[in-house]
Structure 1
Protein backbone atom coordinates (compact mmCIF):
# COMPACT_ATOMS: atom_id res chain seq x y z
CA UNK A 1 0.00 0.00 0.00
CA UNK A 2 2.83 2.37 0.88
CA UNK A 3 4.61 1.56 -2.39
CA UNK A 4 1.41 2.27 -4.33
CA UNK A 5 1.05 5.63 -2.56
CA UNK A 6 4.64 6.55 -3.42
CA UNK A 7 3.99 5.61 -7.06
CA UNK A 8 0.97 7.92 -7.12
CA UNK A 9 2.92 10.81 -5.58
CA UNK A 10 5.75 10.36 -8.10
CA UNK A 11 3.20 10.19 -10.91
CA UNK A 12 1.56 13.43 -9.74
CA UNK A 13 4.98 15.06 -9.68
CA UNK A 14 5.71 13.92 -13.24
CA UNK A 15 2.46 15.18 -14.79
CA UNK A 16 2.75 18.52 -12.99
CA UNK A 17 6.32 18.89 -14.25
CA UNK A 18 4.99 18.25 -17.77
CA UNK A 19 2.22 20.85 -17.54
CA UNK A 20 4.61 23.37 -15.98
CA UNK A 21 7.15 23.14 -18.82
CA UNK A 22 4.34 23.10 -21.39
CA UNK A 23 3.11 26.38 -19.93
CA UNK A 24 6.52 27.87 -20.81
CA UNK A 25 6.06 26.40 -24.29
CA UNK A 26 2.80 28.32 -24.73
CA UNK A 27 4.45 31.59 -23.68
CA UNK A 28 7.38 31.11 -26.07
CA UNK A 29 5.09 29.89 -28.84
CA UNK A 30 3.19 33.19 -28.71
CA UNK A 31 6.42 35.18 -28.75
CA UNK A 32 7.85 33.27 -31.75
CA UNK A 33 4.70 33.07 -33.88
CA UNK A 34 6.03 35.66 -36.35
CA UNK A 35 9.49 34.08 -36.60
CA UNK A 36 8.62 30.50 -37.57
CA UNK A 37 5.61 28.49 -38.70
CA UNK A 38 3.96 26.09 -36.21
CA UNK A 39 4.85 22.90 -38.10
CA UNK A 40 8.45 24.01 -38.63
CA UNK A 41 8.69 24.89 -34.95
CA UNK A 42 7.34 21.47 -33.97
CA UNK A 43 9.76 19.72 -36.33
CA UNK A 44 12.74 21.69 -34.98
CA UNK A 45 11.98 21.06 -31.33
CA UNK A 46 11.26 17.35 -31.82
CA UNK A 47 14.47 17.00 -33.84
CA UNK A 48 16.39 18.22 -30.78
CA UNK A 49 14.27 16.03 -28.50
CA UNK A 50 14.96 12.96 -30.69
CA UNK A 51 18.72 13.41 -30.17
CA UNK A 52 18.19 13.47 -26.40
CA UNK A 53 15.93 10.42 -26.52
CA UNK A 54 18.46 8.54 -28.67
CA UNK A 55 21.13 9.09 -26.01
CA UNK A 56 18.74 8.06 -23.21
CA UNK A 57 17.61 4.98 -25.11
CA UNK A 58 21.19 3.69 -25.39
CA UNK A 59 21.20 3.23 -21.62
CA UNK A 60 18.11 1.00 -21.69
CA UNK A 61 18.00 -2.83 -21.92
CA UNK A 62 18.14 -4.33 -25.40
CA UNK A 63 14.41 -5.18 -25.47
CA UNK A 64 13.60 -1.49 -24.83
CA UNK A 65 15.70 -0.47 -27.84
CA UNK A 66 13.66 -2.52 -30.29
CA UNK A 67 10.19 -2.13 -31.70
CA UNK A 68 8.12 -5.26 -31.24
CA UNK A 69 4.51 -6.23 -31.86
CA UNK A 70 3.42 -2.88 -30.44
CA UNK A 71 4.83 -0.94 -33.41
CA UNK A 72 1.32 -0.02 -34.53
CA UNK A 73 0.54 1.50 -31.14
CA UNK A 74 3.86 3.39 -31.24
CA UNK A 75 2.93 4.68 -34.71
CA UNK A 76 -0.46 5.77 -33.32
CA UNK A 77 1.35 7.64 -30.51
CA UNK A 78 3.52 9.33 -33.13
CA UNK A 79 0.54 10.32 -35.28
CA UNK A 80 -1.57 11.73 -32.44
CA UNK A 81 0.96 13.28 -30.05
CA UNK A 82 3.87 14.23 -32.32
CA UNK A 83 2.43 14.89 -35.79
CA UNK A 84 -1.14 16.08 -35.26
CA UNK A 85 -1.63 17.65 -31.83
CA UNK A 86 0.53 20.78 -32.01
CA UNK A 87 -0.29 21.79 -35.63
CA UNK A 88 -4.03 21.30 -35.08
CA UNK A 89 -3.92 23.27 -31.82
CA UNK A 90 -1.91 26.11 -33.44
CA UNK A 91 -4.39 26.14 -36.34
CA UNK A 92 -7.28 26.52 -33.94
CA UNK A 93 -5.51 29.35 -32.11
CA UNK A 94 -5.39 31.30 -35.39
CA UNK A 95 -9.19 31.53 -35.32
CA UNK A 96 -10.06 31.67 -31.64
CA UNK A 97 -8.87 33.31 -28.44
CA UNK A 98 -6.59 32.00 -25.72
CA UNK A 99 -9.53 32.23 -23.29
CA UNK A 100 -11.76 30.04 -25.46
CA UNK A 101 -9.00 27.51 -26.02
CA UNK A 102 -8.37 27.31 -22.26
CA UNK A 103 -12.04 26.62 -21.62
CA UNK A 104 -12.08 23.85 -24.21
CA UNK A 105 -8.85 22.32 -22.87
CA UNK A 106 -10.67 21.98 -19.56
CA UNK A 107 -12.71 19.19 -21.18
CA UNK A 108 -9.56 17.10 -21.74
CA UNK A 109 -9.79 14.95 -18.58
CA UNK A 110 -13.40 14.01 -19.25
CA UNK A 111 -12.73 13.23 -22.94
CA UNK A 112 -9.72 11.12 -22.00
CA UNK A 113 -11.78 9.22 -19.45
CA UNK A 114 -14.36 8.42 -22.14
CA UNK A 115 -11.65 7.26 -24.56
CA UNK A 116 -10.02 5.14 -21.83
CA UNK A 117 -13.36 3.50 -21.05
CA UNK A 118 -14.09 2.87 -24.72
CA UNK A 119 -10.69 1.80 -26.03
CA UNK A 120 -8.85 0.10 -23.17
CA UNK A 121 -11.73 -0.69 -20.82
CA UNK A 122 -10.33 1.53 -18.06
CA UNK A 123 -13.41 3.18 -16.56
CA UNK A 124 -13.15 6.46 -14.69
CA UNK A 125 -13.84 6.11 -10.98
CA UNK A 126 -16.39 8.37 -9.34
CA UNK A 127 -13.52 10.12 -7.62
CA UNK A 128 -11.81 10.81 -10.95
CA UNK A 129 -15.02 12.14 -12.51
CA UNK A 130 -15.75 14.42 -9.56
CA UNK A 131 -12.10 15.55 -9.45
CA UNK A 132 -12.16 16.37 -13.17
CA UNK A 133 -15.38 18.37 -12.76
CA UNK A 134 -13.99 20.32 -9.78
CA UNK A 135 -10.80 21.10 -11.74
CA UNK A 136 -12.87 22.13 -14.78
CA UNK A 137 -14.90 24.48 -12.58
CA UNK A 138 -11.61 25.90 -11.32
CA UNK A 139 -10.50 26.60 -14.90
CA UNK A 140 -13.81 28.32 -15.70
CA UNK A 141 -13.62 30.39 -12.50
CA UNK A 142 -10.00 31.34 -13.18
CA UNK A 143 -10.54 32.65 -16.71
CA UNK A 144 -13.91 34.33 -16.01
CA UNK A 145 -12.70 36.13 -12.90
CA UNK A 146 -15.69 34.68 -11.07
CA UNK A 147 -17.99 36.99 -13.03
CA UNK A 148 -21.25 35.69 -14.53
CA UNK A 149 -21.29 38.59 -17.00
CA UNK A 150 -18.19 37.10 -18.67
CA UNK A 151 -20.31 34.26 -20.09
CA UNK A 152 -22.89 36.68 -21.49
CA UNK A 153 -20.27 38.20 -23.81
CA UNK A 154 -18.21 35.05 -24.56
CA UNK A 155 -18.31 34.09 -28.25
CA UNK A 156 -17.43 30.74 -29.81
CA UNK A 157 -16.38 30.05 -33.41
CA UNK A 158 -14.90 27.51 -35.82
CA UNK A 159 -11.51 27.82 -34.14
CA UNK A 160 -13.08 26.45 -30.96
CA UNK A 161 -14.15 23.33 -32.83
CA UNK A 162 -10.60 22.88 -34.16
CA UNK A 163 -9.17 23.25 -30.63
CA UNK A 164 -11.70 20.66 -29.44
CA UNK A 165 -10.35 18.28 -32.09
CA UNK A 166 -6.82 18.94 -30.80
CA UNK A 167 -7.93 18.18 -27.23
CA UNK A 168 -9.52 14.93 -28.41
CA UNK A 169 -6.29 14.02 -30.23
CA UNK A 170 -4.32 14.59 -27.01
CA UNK A 171 -6.78 12.43 -25.10
CA UNK A 172 -6.25 9.63 -27.62
CA UNK A 173 -2.47 10.05 -27.32
CA UNK A 174 -2.65 9.69 -23.53
CA UNK A 175 -4.81 6.57 -23.76
CA UNK A 176 -2.59 4.96 -26.40
CA UNK A 177 0.58 5.77 -24.45
CA UNK A 178 -0.96 4.20 -21.35
CA UNK A 179 -1.57 1.03 -23.37
CA UNK A 180 1.97 0.99 -24.80
CA UNK A 181 3.54 1.39 -21.37
CA UNK A 182 2.07 -1.91 -20.27
CA UNK A 183 4.86 -3.40 -22.39
CA UNK A 184 7.74 -0.91 -22.38
CA UNK A 185 9.18 1.92 -20.29
CA UNK A 186 8.14 5.54 -20.69
CA UNK A 187 11.60 6.39 -22.07
CA UNK A 188 11.29 3.76 -24.80
CA UNK A 189 7.68 4.65 -25.67
CA UNK A 190 8.39 8.38 -25.86
CA UNK A 191 11.58 7.89 -27.87
CA UNK A 192 10.13 5.59 -30.51
CA UNK A 193 6.96 7.64 -30.97
CA UNK A 194 9.18 10.71 -31.50
CA UNK A 195 11.42 8.85 -33.99
CA UNK A 196 8.39 7.69 -35.98
CA UNK A 197 6.66 11.08 -36.02
CA UNK A 198 9.70 13.25 -36.80
CA UNK A 199 10.08 12.34 -40.53
CA UNK A 200 6.43 13.21 -41.17
CA UNK A 201 6.83 16.53 -39.35
CA UNK A 202 9.97 17.33 -41.38
CA UNK A 203 8.16 16.69 -44.68
CA UNK A 204 5.27 18.91 -43.57
CA UNK A 205 7.77 21.57 -42.46
CA UNK A 206 9.36 21.63 -45.93
CA UNK A 207 5.91 22.28 -47.38
CA UNK A 208 5.16 24.99 -44.79
CA UNK A 209 8.46 26.78 -45.46
CA UNK A 210 7.22 27.60 -48.96
CA UNK A 211 4.69 30.00 -47.47
CA UNK A 212 6.06 30.78 -43.97
CA UNK A 213 9.83 31.42 -44.08
CA UNK A 214 11.98 31.37 -40.95
CA UNK A 215 13.33 34.66 -39.57
CA UNK A 216 16.50 33.20 -38.08
CA UNK A 217 18.34 35.05 -35.31
CA UNK A 218 20.13 34.24 -32.05
CA UNK A 219 16.96 34.58 -29.97
CA UNK A 220 15.11 32.09 -32.18
CA UNK A 221 18.00 29.58 -32.09
CA UNK A 222 18.23 29.71 -28.28
CA UNK A 223 14.45 29.45 -27.98
CA UNK A 224 14.26 26.40 -30.26
CA UNK A 225 17.02 24.67 -28.29
CA UNK A 226 15.07 25.33 -25.09
CA UNK A 227 11.81 24.12 -26.66
CA UNK A 228 13.51 20.92 -27.82
CA UNK A 229 15.15 20.12 -24.50
CA UNK A 230 12.53 21.21 -21.98
CA UNK A 231 8.92 21.22 -23.30
CA UNK A 232 9.52 18.51 -25.93
CA UNK A 233 12.00 16.07 -24.34
CA UNK A 234 11.40 16.68 -20.62
CA UNK A 235 7.69 17.46 -21.01
CA UNK A 236 6.71 14.44 -23.12
CA UNK A 237 8.86 12.07 -21.08
CA UNK A 238 7.45 13.38 -17.79
CA UNK A 239 3.87 13.13 -19.06
CA UNK A 240 4.26 9.54 -20.22
CA UNK A 241 6.03 8.62 -16.97
CA UNK A 242 3.05 10.09 -15.11
CA UNK A 243 0.56 8.21 -17.30
CA UNK A 244 2.43 4.97 -16.59
CA UNK A 245 1.91 5.48 -12.85
CA UNK A 246 -1.54 7.10 -12.71
CA UNK A 247 -3.22 5.76 -15.84
CA UNK A 248 -4.55 8.02 -18.63
CA UNK A 249 -7.59 9.24 -16.68
CA UNK A 250 -5.64 9.84 -13.47
CA UNK A 251 -2.96 11.82 -15.29
CA UNK A 252 -5.40 13.91 -17.30
CA UNK A 253 -7.08 15.18 -14.12
CA UNK A 254 -3.95 17.33 -13.73
CA UNK A 255 -3.95 18.58 -17.32
CA UNK A 256 -5.99 21.54 -16.12
CA UNK A 257 -2.97 22.83 -14.17
CA UNK A 258 -1.73 24.27 -17.50
CA UNK A 259 -3.67 27.56 -17.20
CA UNK A 260 -2.73 27.75 -13.51
CA UNK A 261 0.98 27.52 -14.30
CA UNK A 262 0.48 29.89 -17.23
CA UNK A 263 -0.96 32.50 -14.85
CA UNK A 264 1.93 32.01 -12.39
CA UNK A 265 4.54 32.34 -15.14
CA UNK A 266 2.79 35.45 -16.46
CA UNK A 267 2.95 36.93 -12.96
CA UNK A 268 6.64 36.04 -12.45
CA UNK A 269 8.07 36.93 -15.88
CA UNK A 270 5.59 39.38 -17.41
CA UNK A 271 4.33 41.16 -14.31
CA UNK A 272 0.72 40.19 -15.05
CA UNK A 273 -1.51 40.62 -11.97
CA UNK A 274 -2.90 37.69 -9.97
CA UNK A 275 -6.28 38.31 -8.35
CA UNK A 276 -8.64 36.44 -6.07
CA UNK A 277 -10.12 34.55 -9.05
CA UNK A 278 -6.69 33.11 -9.86
CA UNK A 279 -6.23 31.98 -6.26
CA UNK A 280 -9.68 30.40 -5.94
CA UNK A 281 -9.52 28.85 -9.41
CA UNK A 282 -6.01 27.56 -8.78
CA UNK A 283 -7.03 25.96 -5.48
CA UNK A 284 -9.98 24.23 -7.15
CA UNK A 285 -7.71 22.90 -9.91
CA UNK A 286 -5.20 21.53 -7.39
CA UNK A 287 -7.89 20.08 -5.10
CA UNK A 288 -9.68 18.45 -8.04
CA UNK A 289 -6.45 16.95 -9.32
CA UNK A 290 -5.34 15.52 -5.97
CA UNK A 291 -8.84 14.22 -5.22
CA UNK A 292 -9.12 12.52 -8.61
CA UNK A 293 -5.66 10.94 -8.43
CA UNK A 294 -6.16 9.42 -4.98
CA UNK A 295 -8.19 6.53 -6.29
CA UNK A 296 -7.36 5.75 -9.95
CA UNK A 297 -9.20 3.04 -11.79
CA UNK A 298 -7.84 -0.28 -10.62
CA UNK A 299 -5.44 -1.78 -13.12
CA UNK A 300 -1.97 -3.18 -13.30
CA UNK A 301 0.70 -0.57 -14.04
CA UNK A 302 4.18 -1.62 -15.06
CA UNK A 303 7.28 -0.72 -13.12
CA UNK A 304 8.72 1.88 -15.45
CA UNK A 305 12.30 1.44 -14.44
CA UNK A 306 13.29 5.00 -15.32
Structure 2
Protein backbone atom coordinates (compact mmCIF):
# COMPACT_ATOMS: atom_id res chain seq x y z
CA UNK A 1 0.00 0.00 0.00
CA UNK A 2 1.17 3.53 -0.80
CA UNK A 3 2.59 5.27 2.34
CA UNK A 4 0.29 8.24 1.66
CA UNK A 5 -2.79 6.06 2.17
CA UNK A 6 -1.26 4.76 5.40
CA UNK A 7 -0.91 8.35 6.61
CA UNK A 8 -4.63 8.81 6.02
CA UNK A 9 -5.79 5.48 7.48
CA UNK A 10 -3.58 5.35 10.59
CA UNK A 11 -5.30 8.33 12.30
CA UNK A 12 -8.65 6.62 11.57
CA UNK A 13 -7.53 3.54 13.50
CA UNK A 14 -6.28 5.70 16.36
CA UNK A 15 -9.61 7.56 16.40
CA UNK A 16 -11.38 4.25 17.06
CA UNK A 17 -8.83 3.72 19.83
CA UNK A 18 -10.04 6.89 21.57
CA UNK A 19 -13.67 5.80 21.35
CA UNK A 20 -13.00 2.26 22.58
CA UNK A 21 -10.66 3.49 25.29
CA UNK A 22 -13.44 5.59 26.79
CA UNK A 23 -15.73 2.55 26.88
CA UNK A 24 -13.15 0.19 28.35
CA UNK A 25 -11.57 2.23 31.16
CA UNK A 26 -14.59 1.67 33.43
CA UNK A 27 -13.64 -2.02 33.62
CA UNK A 28 -9.99 -2.11 32.56
CA UNK A 29 -7.97 0.77 34.09
CA UNK A 30 -5.88 2.90 31.75
CA UNK A 31 -2.40 1.61 32.57
CA UNK A 32 -3.59 -1.99 32.67
CA UNK A 33 -5.25 -1.50 29.28
CA UNK A 34 -2.04 -0.08 27.80
CA UNK A 35 -0.08 -3.00 29.25
CA UNK A 36 -2.48 -5.56 27.76
CA UNK A 37 -2.55 -3.75 24.44
CA UNK A 38 1.21 -3.66 23.95
CA UNK A 39 1.76 -7.14 25.39
CA UNK A 40 -0.48 -8.46 22.59
CA UNK A 41 1.36 -6.29 20.08
CA UNK A 42 4.76 -7.53 21.30
CA UNK A 43 3.69 -11.19 21.09
CA UNK A 44 2.74 -10.65 17.44
CA UNK A 45 5.58 -8.38 16.34
CA UNK A 46 8.60 -9.77 18.21
CA UNK A 47 8.77 -13.10 16.28
CA UNK A 48 8.45 -11.16 13.02
CA UNK A 49 11.18 -8.76 14.13
CA UNK A 50 13.53 -11.64 15.01
CA UNK A 51 13.00 -13.21 11.59
CA UNK A 52 13.33 -9.94 9.71
CA UNK A 53 16.42 -8.57 11.45
CA UNK A 54 18.04 -10.59 14.30
CA UNK A 55 18.86 -8.43 17.30
CA UNK A 56 22.56 -9.35 17.15
CA UNK A 57 22.87 -7.42 13.89
CA UNK A 58 21.61 -4.19 15.46
CA UNK A 59 24.25 -1.63 16.39
CA UNK A 60 24.40 0.12 19.75
CA UNK A 61 23.36 3.36 18.08
CA UNK A 62 20.23 1.74 16.63
CA UNK A 63 19.42 0.11 19.97
CA UNK A 64 19.52 3.58 21.47
CA UNK A 65 16.91 4.82 18.99
CA UNK A 66 14.77 1.69 19.50
CA UNK A 67 14.95 2.20 23.26
CA UNK A 68 13.88 5.81 22.80
CA UNK A 69 10.90 4.62 20.72
CA UNK A 70 9.91 2.19 23.49
CA UNK A 71 10.18 4.76 26.28
CA UNK A 72 8.55 7.71 24.50
CA UNK A 73 5.91 6.21 22.19
CA UNK A 74 4.98 2.91 23.83
CA UNK A 75 5.43 3.54 27.55
CA UNK A 76 5.39 7.24 28.47
CA UNK A 77 3.18 8.85 25.80
CA UNK A 78 -0.09 7.25 26.89
CA UNK A 79 0.85 7.44 30.57
CA UNK A 80 1.57 11.17 30.53
CA UNK A 81 -1.44 11.89 28.29
CA UNK A 82 -3.81 10.04 30.65
CA UNK A 83 -2.40 11.97 33.61
CA UNK A 84 -2.86 15.27 31.77
CA UNK A 85 -6.45 14.47 30.87
CA UNK A 86 -7.26 14.13 34.57
CA UNK A 87 -6.57 17.83 35.09
CA UNK A 88 -7.49 19.52 31.81
CA UNK A 89 -10.43 19.66 29.42
CA UNK A 90 -10.76 17.79 26.15
CA UNK A 91 -10.87 21.16 24.35
CA UNK A 92 -7.52 22.21 25.77
CA UNK A 93 -6.01 18.80 25.11
CA UNK A 94 -7.17 18.85 21.49
CA UNK A 95 -5.71 22.30 20.88
CA UNK A 96 -2.39 21.45 22.51
CA UNK A 97 -2.14 18.14 20.67
CA UNK A 98 -2.62 20.03 17.38
CA UNK A 99 0.73 21.69 18.09
CA UNK A 100 2.43 18.34 17.43
CA UNK A 101 3.61 19.34 13.92
CA UNK A 102 5.21 22.51 15.30
CA UNK A 103 6.90 20.61 18.13
CA UNK A 104 8.09 17.96 15.70
CA UNK A 105 9.44 20.56 13.27
CA UNK A 106 11.38 22.28 16.07
CA UNK A 107 12.86 19.00 17.32
CA UNK A 108 13.79 17.96 13.77
CA UNK A 109 15.60 21.29 13.36
CA UNK A 110 17.43 20.90 16.69
CA UNK A 111 18.44 17.28 16.02
CA UNK A 112 19.02 17.24 12.25
CA UNK A 113 19.24 20.96 11.39
CA UNK A 114 16.48 20.33 8.86
CA UNK A 115 14.70 23.58 8.02
CA UNK A 116 10.94 23.65 7.61
CA UNK A 117 9.65 24.33 4.09
CA UNK A 118 7.12 27.03 3.27
CA UNK A 119 4.48 24.49 2.25
CA UNK A 120 4.98 22.67 5.55
CA UNK A 121 4.68 25.90 7.56
CA UNK A 122 1.49 26.83 5.69
CA UNK A 123 0.09 23.34 6.22
CA UNK A 124 0.82 23.51 9.96
CA UNK A 125 -1.00 26.86 10.27
CA UNK A 126 -4.02 25.56 8.33
CA UNK A 127 -4.17 22.39 10.41
CA UNK A 128 -3.93 24.23 13.75
CA UNK A 129 -6.63 26.64 12.56
CA UNK A 130 -8.89 23.70 11.72
CA UNK A 131 -8.44 22.13 15.16
CA UNK A 132 -9.12 25.53 16.77
CA UNK A 133 -12.39 25.86 14.82
CA UNK A 134 -13.56 22.42 16.02
CA UNK A 135 -12.39 22.90 19.62
CA UNK A 136 -14.02 26.35 19.88
CA UNK A 137 -17.19 25.07 18.17
CA UNK A 138 -16.91 27.91 15.67
CA UNK A 139 -17.06 30.59 18.40
CA UNK A 140 -14.22 33.12 18.67
CA UNK A 141 -15.48 34.11 22.12
CA UNK A 142 -15.21 30.52 23.35
CA UNK A 143 -11.65 30.33 22.05
CA UNK A 144 -10.54 33.57 23.74
CA UNK A 145 -11.97 32.49 27.10
CA UNK A 146 -9.96 29.27 27.34
CA UNK A 147 -7.94 28.88 30.55
CA UNK A 148 -4.89 26.68 31.01
CA UNK A 149 -3.70 24.59 33.97
CA UNK A 150 -0.88 22.18 34.95
CA UNK A 151 -2.63 19.36 33.09
CA UNK A 152 -2.02 21.27 29.86
CA UNK A 153 1.73 21.07 30.49
CA UNK A 154 1.43 17.30 30.78
CA UNK A 155 -0.46 17.13 27.47
CA UNK A 156 2.25 19.30 25.89
CA UNK A 157 4.88 16.95 27.31
CA UNK A 158 3.00 14.00 25.80
CA UNK A 159 3.01 15.80 22.45
CA UNK A 160 6.80 16.24 22.68
CA UNK A 161 7.20 12.56 23.62
CA UNK A 162 5.32 11.47 20.50
CA UNK A 163 7.40 13.83 18.38
CA UNK A 164 10.55 12.18 19.76
CA UNK A 165 9.08 8.75 18.99
CA UNK A 166 8.41 9.81 15.41
CA UNK A 167 11.94 11.18 14.97
CA UNK A 168 13.52 8.10 16.57
CA UNK A 169 11.53 5.85 14.23
CA UNK A 170 12.86 7.73 11.23
CA UNK A 171 16.44 7.56 12.56
CA UNK A 172 16.49 3.85 13.26
CA UNK A 173 14.89 3.07 9.88
CA UNK A 174 18.18 4.11 8.25
CA UNK A 175 19.79 0.90 9.57
CA UNK A 176 17.00 -1.40 10.77
CA UNK A 177 13.85 -2.44 8.84
CA UNK A 178 10.69 -0.72 10.08
CA UNK A 179 9.06 -4.05 10.98
CA UNK A 180 11.98 -5.05 13.20
CA UNK A 181 12.34 -1.65 14.88
CA UNK A 182 8.61 -1.54 15.65
CA UNK A 183 8.62 -5.08 17.04
CA UNK A 184 11.62 -4.59 19.30
CA UNK A 185 10.26 -1.28 20.61
CA UNK A 186 6.96 -3.02 21.43
CA UNK A 187 8.79 -5.73 23.37
CA UNK A 188 10.83 -3.26 25.42
CA UNK A 189 7.84 -0.99 25.98
CA UNK A 190 5.62 -3.89 27.06
CA UNK A 191 8.18 -4.92 29.69
CA UNK A 192 8.33 -1.35 30.99
CA UNK A 193 4.53 -1.14 31.14
CA UNK A 194 4.03 -4.48 32.91
CA UNK A 195 4.73 -3.30 36.50
CA UNK A 196 2.51 -0.22 36.05
CA UNK A 197 -0.26 -2.34 34.55
CA UNK A 198 -0.22 -4.87 37.40
CA UNK A 199 -0.16 -2.11 40.01
CA UNK A 200 -3.03 -0.26 38.32
CA UNK A 201 -5.08 -3.46 38.10
CA UNK A 202 -4.62 -4.27 41.80
CA UNK A 203 -5.27 -0.72 43.03
CA UNK A 204 -8.51 -0.46 41.04
CA UNK A 205 -9.93 -3.80 42.20
CA UNK A 206 -12.49 -2.17 44.50
CA UNK A 207 -13.71 0.47 42.04
CA UNK A 208 -13.68 -1.02 38.55
CA UNK A 209 -16.69 -2.69 36.98
CA UNK A 210 -16.62 -6.34 35.85
CA UNK A 211 -15.29 -6.60 32.31
CA UNK A 212 -17.80 -7.95 29.80
CA UNK A 213 -16.56 -10.49 27.21
CA UNK A 214 -16.78 -7.94 24.39
CA UNK A 215 -14.39 -5.68 26.32
CA UNK A 216 -11.62 -8.28 26.17
CA UNK A 217 -12.30 -8.60 22.46
CA UNK A 218 -11.98 -4.84 22.14
CA UNK A 219 -8.66 -4.98 24.02
CA UNK A 220 -7.41 -7.52 21.47
CA UNK A 221 -8.55 -5.15 18.71
CA UNK A 222 -6.47 -2.37 20.28
CA UNK A 223 -3.46 -4.67 20.43
CA UNK A 224 -3.73 -5.74 16.80
CA UNK A 225 -5.10 -2.72 14.95
CA UNK A 226 -4.31 0.32 17.11
CA UNK A 227 -0.85 -1.01 17.95
CA UNK A 228 0.56 -3.52 15.44
CA UNK A 229 -0.97 -2.19 12.23
CA UNK A 230 -1.20 1.50 13.13
CA UNK A 231 2.32 1.84 14.58
CA UNK A 232 3.85 -0.16 11.71
CA UNK A 233 2.06 1.92 9.08
CA UNK A 234 2.97 5.12 10.92
CA UNK A 235 6.68 4.28 10.99
CA UNK A 236 6.61 3.35 7.31
CA UNK A 237 4.94 6.67 6.47
CA UNK A 238 7.47 8.61 8.55
CA UNK A 239 10.27 6.92 6.64
CA UNK A 240 8.66 8.01 3.35
CA UNK A 241 7.45 11.53 4.19
CA UNK A 242 9.53 12.62 7.17
CA UNK A 243 8.59 13.44 10.74
CA UNK A 244 7.21 16.96 10.22
CA UNK A 245 4.81 16.12 7.37
CA UNK A 246 3.62 12.90 9.01
CA UNK A 247 2.85 14.65 12.28
CA UNK A 248 0.33 16.88 10.47
CA UNK A 249 -1.81 13.87 9.64
CA UNK A 250 -2.19 13.17 13.38
CA UNK A 251 -4.67 16.04 13.51
CA UNK A 252 -7.02 13.94 11.39
CA UNK A 253 -7.70 11.94 14.57
CA UNK A 254 -9.98 14.75 15.78
CA UNK A 255 -11.83 14.84 12.44
CA UNK A 256 -12.26 11.06 12.31
CA UNK A 257 -13.36 10.93 15.96
CA UNK A 258 -16.14 13.42 15.20
CA UNK A 259 -17.27 11.25 12.28
CA UNK A 260 -17.22 8.08 14.39
CA UNK A 261 -19.22 9.83 17.12
CA UNK A 262 -21.76 10.87 14.48
CA UNK A 263 -22.18 7.48 12.82
CA UNK A 264 -21.66 5.24 15.85
CA UNK A 265 -22.91 7.29 18.79
CA UNK A 266 -25.45 9.47 16.92
CA UNK A 267 -23.75 12.67 18.06
CA UNK A 268 -24.61 15.62 15.76
CA UNK A 269 -22.18 17.18 13.28
CA UNK A 270 -22.28 20.96 12.82
CA UNK A 271 -20.88 23.35 10.25
CA UNK A 272 -17.74 24.00 12.27
CA UNK A 273 -16.94 20.28 12.16
CA UNK A 274 -16.95 20.33 8.36
CA UNK A 275 -14.97 23.58 8.16
CA UNK A 276 -12.40 22.43 10.71
CA UNK A 277 -12.07 19.05 9.03
CA UNK A 278 -11.51 20.68 5.64
CA UNK A 279 -8.78 22.93 7.08
CA UNK A 280 -7.03 20.04 8.82
CA UNK A 281 -7.14 17.78 5.76
CA UNK A 282 -6.15 20.63 3.43
CA UNK A 283 -3.21 21.55 5.65
CA UNK A 284 -1.97 17.97 5.71
CA UNK A 285 -2.23 17.66 1.93
CA UNK A 286 -0.46 21.00 1.42
CA UNK A 287 2.46 20.01 3.65
CA UNK A 288 2.76 16.58 2.03
CA UNK A 289 3.77 18.24 -1.25
CA UNK A 290 1.02 16.54 -3.24
CA UNK A 291 0.13 19.87 -4.88
CA UNK A 292 3.70 20.71 -5.90
CA UNK A 293 4.45 20.57 -9.58
CA UNK A 294 7.18 18.14 -10.49
CA UNK A 295 9.73 19.26 -13.01
CA UNK A 296 9.95 16.88 -15.97
CA UNK A 297 13.18 14.98 -16.10
CA UNK A 298 15.48 16.26 -18.81
CA UNK A 299 17.17 13.55 -20.75
CA UNK A 300 20.72 14.13 -21.84
CA UNK A 301 21.15 14.07 -25.59
CA UNK A 302 24.52 13.02 -26.87
CA UNK A 303 25.69 14.23 -30.25
CA UNK A 304 28.28 12.74 -32.50
CA UNK A 305 30.62 14.87 -34.51
TM-score by length of 1: 0.89
SS of structure 1 residue aligned to 2:249: coil
Q: Which residue of 1 aligns with 2:159?
A: 167
Whether contact under 8 Å (1:21, 1:230) holds in the other structure is yes
CA distance in 2, matches of 1:133, 1:189: 32
Question: C-alpha separation between the residues in 2 aligned to 1:131 and 1:17?
Answer: 19
Which of 216, 219, 234 is 2:214 aligned to?
Answer: 219
| SS of residue matched to 1:240 | helix
**Residue 179 of structure 1, CA deviation:** 0.7
C-alpha distance in 2, partners of 1:58/1:87? 28
What count of residue pairs does the alignment treat as equivalent?
287
Which stretches of structure 1, 4 residues or more, deviate above 4 A after TM superposition? 62-66
Q: 1:76-128: CA deviations, max 9, x gaps? A: 11000011000110111111121111111110000001001111232221211
Query: Is 1:244 matched up with 2:239?
Result: yes
Report which stretch shifted further, 194-203 or 213-222: 213-222
* 2:251 corresponds to: 256
Select the residue among 76, 89, 92 that pairs with 2:68. 76
User: Is the Cα contact below 8 Å between 1:64 and 1:184 reproduced in 2?
Assistant: no
CA contact (8 A) 1:57 1:65 kept: no
* Residues 146-155 or 164-173, more deviating: 146-155
Equivalents in 2 of 1:122, 1:177: separation in Å? 16
* Distance in 2 (alpha carbons) for counterparts of 1:118 and 1:54: 32
Matches of 1:152 and 1:200 in 2, distance apart?
40
Per the alignment, residue 295 of structure 2 pairs with none
Distance (whole Å) between structure 2 residues aligned to residue 287 and residue 47 of structure 1: 36
Distance 1:228 1:145 in 2: 33
- Name the larger-Rg structure: 2
- Give 1:102's aligned residue: 94
Q: Which runs of 5+ in 2 are unaligned?
A: 291-305
Q: Distance in 1 between matches of 2:111 and 2:186?
A: 22
Match of 1:274 among 269, 284, 294: 269
What is aligned with 2:180?
188
Q: Which runs of 5+ in 1 are unaligned?
A: 1-8, 296-306
Give the TM-score, by structure 2 length: 0.89
1:243–1:251 CA contact under 8 A, matched in 2: yes
Mapped to 1, the partners of 2:199 and 2:179 lie a distance apart of: 30
SS in 1 for 2:147: coil
